């Protein structure tokens, strides 16, 4: 599995798409900080929206920029679809899956390796995103809004929470990819998931569904509106979904004609 | 058997109502070049996909170098394969695709990539993107990627498909070198017997998912000879008479059969000669000696009328039955 992950990183180092993705991610961070704008769909709930409005109407500091940067997580999902396509989607579209699966790797190692690669990619890209927000805020002469230690801690927390939560949605995309052997349906699922869950929670009033709103989870961590007991439930559900997706994908793959 | 690389035992595979493979058993020993011959849709690719784990097993057992398939996925790392069309990342160069395979297999010998590309004649294309290669070059790249980890068993599915005559000849030479220089065991499929005949040491004929016959190269050699096939009561005496009368060249195939490798020989006078010398002639057949005829003759038999295909076929000889 380690060899597979190394091979995927080697391939990405020679991928123009990954380079473009990095540029776009950094550009999004710079632009949103510079223009004091957030783009994306907020799904964190009324308390989150209220708090977001308070922050937006206040003085823009470096810390403010980072908190609002987390609000653009849904936009990051659209960008990170490229990671999904480059790391695992093209194994199907270029028919190289048969080479990979005959290299002596088990199905579970293959899926887990791909998920770990995607997670690592997303964490690195998200780190670059928040660093670009931090750097742009400082370059524009804005006040830090917190000590350096707090800013560094927030950068790490937001990177992990946003990156991991997006990877949970992508893990669901992996299940659909393995099931349908098409990159189109998973891409659609990844895009609509946050919106779909938000709509279902609002219209069907199924409160428990909000724990599947992984973007909302990340946004609430960033703004600090999440209660501790809710954080544990969100974390448990997210880890459970990843585990189920990885094992489920491996089981489906072992029964599929490649 | 320690010498057995691949042991396929009573393997069956069904897709819905279609029986793709039916009770197939094959054993391939180390060093064999096994040619799997069958018409399109006969089950060759399905069998290869089962061996490489690309298709889930339904019935039977496949054992690779003593390890049962499905129990130890790492054993697949010891086989190389090009199933259906060779696949590579089209935006990566030939060298980068090779490097990727090297990393996947944990190979650290940097020189192995250059050596392998040289072996398949792709050294000059190292920096060319895989997507820009011709069909023949893609086949070579597929072969290079498959042999880079020095596999014990190499599986090639219709490797000469789409190649021009020169390409076929070069590919054939490559396979011969692989067997000779790297001592790689090969399993090759084709629907063209005459192509496999030139490289394989053993042959398995597959039709409608059943292994209908297995023959060795020597057995097939007998078939691939045109002439007059005599069936007599005592071939030694008949051979002496033929030699004395200058009816040569001929080959004594067993105690009863002699193949006179000469065409346009009148059977009447030959029959009279042998009978007058006290040899009982059972049959005189005009043997066409075409491999394709042999293949078609095999296929024309209703597979449903045959018993289960087993290795018992191996020593049944290669005559035109």
Q: Which residue has the higher pLDDT, A48 or A6?
A: A6
Continuous H helices in chain B: 44-51, 94-104, 111-120, 135-147, 165-181, 193-197, 217-223, 235-245, 267-276, 291-300
Residue B305's pLDDT is 42
User: Smallest Cα–Cα separation from B188: which of B224, B157, B210?
Assistant: B157
Tell me which residue has tokens 């990627």. Answer: B145
Q: What pLDDT is stored for residue A22 in this prediction?
A: 95
HSE-up of A218 (CA within 13 Å, CB side)? 31
Percent above pLDDT 70 for chain A: 96
- Select the residue of A6, A96, A106 nearest B103 (Cβ to Cβ): A6
Q: Which two tokens stand for residue B13?
A: 């595979």
Q: Where are the domains of chain B?
A: 4-220, 225-287
Decide: helix, strand or coil at residue B163: coil
Per CB-CB distance under 8 Å, the chain B contacts of A106 are: 73
Chain B from 65 to 124: CB within 8 A of any A CB: 73-79, 81, 83, 85, 87-92, 96, 99-101, 103-106
Tell me if residue A94 falls in helix, strand or coil. Answer: coil
Please give the residue range of the domain that contains residue A63.
2-254
Contacts of B83 in chain A (CB under 8 A): 98
Q: Which chain B residue has the Cα nearest residue A98?
A: B54
Q: Cβ A104–B77 below 8 Å, yes or no?
A: yes
Pairing of strands B67-68, B59-64: antiparallel
Q: How far is CA A61 from the centre of its chain?
A: 25
- Chain A residues close to B72, C-beta within 8 Å: none
Q: Contact A11/B76, CB-based, under 8 Å?
A: no
Q: Which residue of B has its CA nearest to A8?
A: B100
pLDDT at residue number B311 = 37
Give chain A positions within 8 Å (CB) of B55: 257-258
Domain pair B4-220 / B225-287, same fold: no
Chain B CB within 8 Å of residue A6 CB: yes
Yes or no, beta carbons of A11 and B52 under 8 Å apart: no
Among the partner-chain residues A14, A255, A258, the one whose CB lies closest to the CB of B92 is A14
What ipTM was predicted for this assembly? 0.85
Structure tokens at A123: 């964490």
Are B97 and B141 within 8 A, CB to CB?
yes
Q: Consecutive sets of 10 residues in chain B, 321 residues long: mean pLDDT of each?
A: 84 92 93 89 92 92 89 85 90 94 88 88 91 88 92 90 75 84 89 79 90 85 77 90 86 84 81 91 79 73 46 33 27
Minimum Cα–Cα distance from A9: chain B residue = B100
Residue B2 has a pLDDT of 55
Question: What is the dihedral sign for C-alpha B222, B227, B231, B232?
Answer: negative
CATH code, residues B225-287: 3.30.70
pLDDT band at A243 (very low <50, low <70, confident <90, very high): very high
pLDDT for res B317: 32
| Number of residues assigned to chain A | 258
pLDDT for the residue B288: 66
- CATH code given to domain B4-220: 3.40.50.300
B234 dihedral zone (left: phi>0; alpha: psi -120 to 50; beta): beta
Q: Do B87 and A104 touch (CB under 8 A)?
A: no
B89/A96 touch (CB, cutoff 8 Å), yes or no: yes
Interface of A with B in 67-106 (CB under 8 A): 90, 94-96, 98-106
Handedness of CA A228, A231, A237, A239 (dihedral sign): negative
How many Å apart are CA B68 and CA B55, to the nearest integer?
Answer: 15
Q: Name the residue with higher pLDDT: B291 or A175.
A: A175
Computed on alpha carbons and rounded to an integer, the radius of gyration of chain B in Å comes to: 23
Instruction: Give all strands of the β-sheet with B67-68 in edge-to-edge order.
Output: B18-29, B4-15, B59-64, B67-68
The answer to whether the beta carbons of residues B82 and B89 sit under 8 Å apart is no
* pLDDT tens track for B238-287: 999 988 888 888 878 788 888 887 767 888 888 999 999 999 999 888 87
Lowest-confidence range among A26-35, A125-134, A216-225, B207-216? A216-225
- In chain A, which residues have their Cβ closer than 8 Å to the Cβ of B53? 101-102
Test mutation, B58, B74, B89, B98, chain A, max A CBs within 10 A: B89
| CA–CA distance, B194 with A135 (Å, rounded to integer) | 69
Pairwise CB contact (< 8 Å): A90 & B89: yes
Q: Does A16 contact B at CB distance below 8 Å?
A: yes
Question: Would you call A102 and B100 a contact, using CB atoms and an 8 Å cutoff?
Answer: no
**Predicted local confidence at residue B289, as pLDDT:** 63
- For chain B, the maximum distance between any two Cα atoms, rounded to a whole number of angstroms, is 77
Strands (E), A150-241: none
For residue B87, the chain A residues in CB contact (below 8 A) are 94-96, 98-99
Q: How many Cβ atoms from other residues are within 10 Å of residue A53's Cβ?
A: 10
Distance CA A142, CA A239 (A): 37
How far does the CA of residue B247 sit from the closest CA of chain A (Å)?
56
What are the counts of helices (DSSP H) followed by strands (DSSP E) for chain A? Answer: 12, 0
Cβ contacts (< 8 Å) between B106 and chain A: which residues? 3
Return d(Cα A108, Cα A192) in angstroms, integer: 27
Number of H helices and E strands in chain B, helices first, is 10, 14
Nearest CA in chain A to B101: A7
Count of CB atoms situated within 10 Å of the CB of B268: 8
Residue A2 confidence (pLDDT) above 70? yes
User: Which burial class, exposed, middle or buried, applies to A205 when counting CB atoms under 10 A from its CB (0-12, 13-18, 19+)?
Assistant: exposed
């Amino acid at each position: 599995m380690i060899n597979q992950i190394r091979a995927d990183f080697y391939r990405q180092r020679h991928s123009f798409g990954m380079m473009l993705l990095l540029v776009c991610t950094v550009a999004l961070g710079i632009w949103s900080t510079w223009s004091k704008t957030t783009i994306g769909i907020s799904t964190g709930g009324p308390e989150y929206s209220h708090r977001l409005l308070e922050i937006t109407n206040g003085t823009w500091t470096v810390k403010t920029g980072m908190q609002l940067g987390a609000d653009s997580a849904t936009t990051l999902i659209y960008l990170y679809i490229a990671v999904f396509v480059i790391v695992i989607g093209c194994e199907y579209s270029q028919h190289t899956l048969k080479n990979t699966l005959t290299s002596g790797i088990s199905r579970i190692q293959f899926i887990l390796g791909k998920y770990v690669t995607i997670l690592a990619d997303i964490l690195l890209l998200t780190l670059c995103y928040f660093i670009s927000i931090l750097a742009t805020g400082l370059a524009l002469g804005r006040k830090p809004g917190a000590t350096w230690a707090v800013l560094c801690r927030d950068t790490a927390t937001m990177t992990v929470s946003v990156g991991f939560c997006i990877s949970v949605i992508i893990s669901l995309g992996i299940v659909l990819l393995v099931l349908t052997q098409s990159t189109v349906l998973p891409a659609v699922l990844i895009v609509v998931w946050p919106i779909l869950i938000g709509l279902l929670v609002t219209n069907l009033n199924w409160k428990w569904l909000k724990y599947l709103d992984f973007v909302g989870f990340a946004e609430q961590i960033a703004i600090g509106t999440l209660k501790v007991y809710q954080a544990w439930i969100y974390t448990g559900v997210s880890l459970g979904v990843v585990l189920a997706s990885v094992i489920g994908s491996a089981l489906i793959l072992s029964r599929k004609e490649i | 058997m320690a010498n057995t690389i691949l042991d396929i035992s009573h393997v069956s595979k069904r897709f819905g109502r279609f029986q793709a493979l039916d009770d197939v058993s094959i054993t391939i020993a180390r060093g064999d070049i096994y040619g799997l011959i069958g018409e399109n849709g006969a089950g060759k690719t399905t069998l290869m996909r089962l061996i490489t784990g690309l298709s889930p097993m339904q019935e039977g057992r496949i054992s690779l170098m003593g390890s049962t398939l499905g129990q130890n996925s790492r054993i697949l790392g010891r086989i190389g394969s090009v199933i259906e069309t060779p696949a590579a990342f089209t935006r990566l160069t030939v060298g980068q695709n090779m490097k990727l395979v090297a990393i996947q297999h944990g190979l650290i010998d940097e020189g192995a990539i250059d050596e392998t590309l040289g072996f398949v004649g792709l050294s000059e294309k190292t920096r060319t993107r895989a997507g820009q290669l011709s069909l023949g070059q893609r086949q070579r790249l597929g072969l290079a990627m498959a042999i880079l980890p020095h596999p014990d068993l190499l599986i090639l599915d219709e490797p000469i498909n789409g190649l021009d005559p020169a390409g076929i000849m070069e590919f054939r030479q490559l396979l011969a070198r692989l067997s000779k220089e790297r001592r790689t065991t090969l399993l090759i499929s084709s629907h063209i017997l005459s192509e496999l005949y030139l490289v394989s040491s053993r042959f398995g004929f597959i039709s409608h998912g059943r292994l209908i016959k297995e023959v060795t190269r020597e057995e097939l050699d007998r078939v691939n000879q045109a002439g007059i096939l005599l069936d007599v009561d005592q071939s030694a005496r008949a051979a002496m008479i033929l030699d004395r009368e200058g009816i040569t060249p001929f080959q004594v195939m067993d105690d009863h059969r002699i193949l006179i490798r000469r065409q346009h020989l009148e059977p009447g006078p030959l029959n009279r000669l042998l009978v007058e010398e006290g040899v009982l002639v059972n049959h005189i057949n005009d043997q066409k000696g075409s491999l394709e005829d042999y293949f078609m003759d095999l296929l024309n038999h209703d597979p449903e009328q045959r018993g289960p295909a087993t290795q018992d076929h191996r020593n049944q000889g290669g005559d035109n039955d």
